[in-house]
Copies of this chain bind each other. A is one copy, B any other.
């Protein structure tokens, strides 16, 4: 079989897995969130508009795949998976606001503030953050996580999403705009802004499934490496991609003077670094055997995106 054939097969296998898991996540989110008719209706609609905007569900699928790697049940990890997607979506809504990145297009559709106005966009983001903690704390049946695991998941999510993680990363990013950015600063932005939440996705999937501390450490490293690789690949696509494949304005990061990996290191070096990170991440999965296969597919998919 040729290398092209193998690549195609791996990608099809990944797409199949991703579609199945993303459908689980979507069904859960749909049944958990207030319907559009729930007052105040504008808020209910705005929350659903951004959450069901065709996101790739990378973070929730990572939660589920990490749970599978340690032998957990998807039903126990689904609320955590949903929580991570809600936090991610809230951050996108707020990042797109005129006072922040001022983006009018996201995943190929007008952004929340364009459709609902700024006030509702701010409040929809706020409500999504709260929903995320609500679903972790009080998950609907059949999820039956013990209180100890639920509270640990809340602490992990809060630690990754807050000032020491995602929100702090957004501030680092804002502060770096239009300035020369060195390697250390760039990795700090990535580690906080996107890395912390991706790392925590892997951790919380494992925690929800009662992983051993050793397995938790392995999946933490996996999450760190895969998360940074994901961000580098995203930066490469921003330079090389088109509006259609990105679903956002291509080249926008470069135009706005935002720090990106290819801008600091060049495309070749960026691609090499991403391959190295994914290779190391795959190595972490060896002790999990076949149960680590979904996580491996996820990591390999990232690298294929960058080629």
Binding site for B on A (CB under 8 A): 34, 38-40, 42-44, 47, 90, 94, 97, 99-100, 117-120, 122-123, 125-127, 129-131, 133-134, 136-138, 146-148, 150-152, 154-155, 157-159, 161-164, 167-168, 170-172, 174-175
Q: Say whether chain A's binding surface is mostly helix, strand, loop, or mixed.
A: helix
Q: What's the Cα separation between A118 and B154 when bound, in Å?
A: 28
Q: Which residue of B lies closest to A153 (CB)?
A: B137
CB <8 Å contact, A171 and B42: yes
CB <8 Å contact, A134 and B151: no
CB <8 Å contact, B174 and A119: yes
Q: What's the Cα separation between A70 and B117 when bound, in Å?
A: 45
CB <8 Å contact, A171 and B120: yes
In the assembled complex, the CB of A236 is this many whole angstroms from the nearest CB of chain B, namely 26
State which of B167, B172, B174 has its C-beta within 8 Å of the C-beta of A127.
Answer: B167
Q: What's the Cα separation between A198 and B247 when bound, in Å?
A: 42
Q: What's the Cα separation between A172 and B150 when bound, in Å?
A: 32
The 5 closest A-B pairs by CB, nearest first: A130-B162, A99-B118, A134-B158, A137-B154, A137-B155
Enumerate 20 A-B pairs (CB-CB under 8 Å) in ascending A order: A40-B171, A40-B172, A43-B171, A44-B163, A90-B126, A94-B123, A97-B122, A100-B122, A123-B170, A127-B167, A130-B167, A131-B158, A131-B162, A134-B158, A134-B162, A137-B155, A137-B158, A138-B155, A138-B159, A147-B150
